[in-house]
């Protein structure tokens, strides 16, 4: 599940991954039932955020209000409000308040 606040700018080719694995019927023949279970975690993007092009946001992450995620970043942990994050994995570069 993905929650997106007001006035959020999401650039081109941003990927939001909430599930733990794809439901690929070909893989079912080679894996045990427990390995095929899909675990879902929500993504929350609060209001007034900007997500740069080609960024990836993983499940269980909350992007705080008025924050910026740099292009090409992989967000694996929560992003503080009023902050700029970038990199792989994304790290806090600075506050913007």
pTM for this one? 0.83
50-97 per-position pLDDT tens digit: 999 999 999 999 999 999 999 999 999 999 999 999 999 999 999 998
Joined together, the tokens standing for residue 50 give 């900007």
The rounded distance, in Å, linking the Cα atoms of 68 and 55 is 11
CATH (one of 2.160.10.10, 2.40.50.140, 3.40.50.10490, 3.40.50.10950) for 2-20+39-95? 2.160.10.10
More confident residue, 20 or 54: 54
State whether residue 64 is helix, strand or coil.
coil
């Amino acid at each position: 599940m993905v929650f997106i606040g007001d006035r959020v700018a999401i650039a081109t080719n941003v990927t939001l991954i909430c599930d733990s694995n794809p439901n690929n019927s070909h893989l079912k023949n080679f894996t045990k039932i427990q390995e095929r279970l899909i675990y879902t975690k929500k993504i929350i993007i609060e209001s007034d955020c900007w997500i740069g092009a080609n960024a990836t946001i993983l499940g269980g992450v909350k992007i705080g209000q008025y924050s910026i995620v740099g292009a090409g970043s992989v967000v694996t942990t929560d992003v503080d409000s009023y902050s700029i994050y970038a990199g792989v994995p994304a790290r806090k570069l600075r506050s913007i308040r």
